[in-house]
């Protein structure tokens, strides 16, 4: 069974540009979440999507957005990149059973460097 797949794995962008990261969840998983990991702030929740709807959102500016498609695949977008956006972006999926506490599985992440 394939795990959570993220693309691209590594990318370098210039300040002011935008970036789109892609995530394919584990087959059958309908919930997809995104996290940002930086040395200074640690692992922080960005947002969660379920059945193409944003169900939960963390404390990030509007430059960070996401969406989910009917096949549960998800993308996140960061516009007007800043140096501080350099981070590891992790996608996670879960077999949402309608209750809390589902086991959440993570992908290998996308390493974004903003120069």
Give residue for tokens 């992440």.
Answer: 109
Q: Is 108 in the site for another protein (CB under 8 A)?
A: yes
CB 50 within 8 A of CB 69: no
The closest of 95, 100, 88, 87 to 25, measured between CA atoms, is 95
Say how far residue 5 (Cα) sits from the centre of its chain.
11
Q: Which of 81, 94, 112, 114 binds another protein (CB under 8 A)?
A: 94
Q: Which is nearer to another protein, 19 or 48 (CB)?
A: 48
Residue 60 binds to another protein (criterion: CB under 8 A)? no
Assign 28 to helix, strand or coil.
coil
Q: In terms of CB distance, is 49 or 81 closer to another protein?
A: 49
Report the distance separating Cα 79 and Cα 20, nearest Å. 9
Q: Does 101 interact with another protein (rule: CB under 8 A)?
A: yes
CB-wise, 47 or 81, nearer to another protein? 47
Where along the sequence are the contacts to another protein (CB under 8 A)? 31, 33, 35, 42-43, 45, 48, 50, 55-56, 58, 88, 90, 92, 94, 96, 99-109, 111
């Amino acid at each position: 069974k394939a795990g959570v797949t993220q693309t691209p794995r590594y990318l370098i962008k210039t300040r002011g540009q935008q970036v789109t990261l892609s995530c394919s969840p584990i087959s059958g998983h309908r919930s997809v979440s995104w996290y940002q990991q930086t040395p200074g702030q640690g692992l922080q929740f960005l947002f969660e999507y379920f059945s193409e709807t944003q169900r939960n959102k963390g404390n990030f500016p509007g430059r960070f957005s996401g969406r989910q498609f009917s096949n549960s695949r998800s993308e996140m977008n960061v516009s007007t990149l800043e140096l501080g956006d350099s981070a590891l972006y992790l996608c996670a999926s879960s077999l949402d059973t309608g209750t809390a506490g589902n086991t959440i599985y993570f992908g290998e992440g996308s390493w974004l460097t903003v120069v």
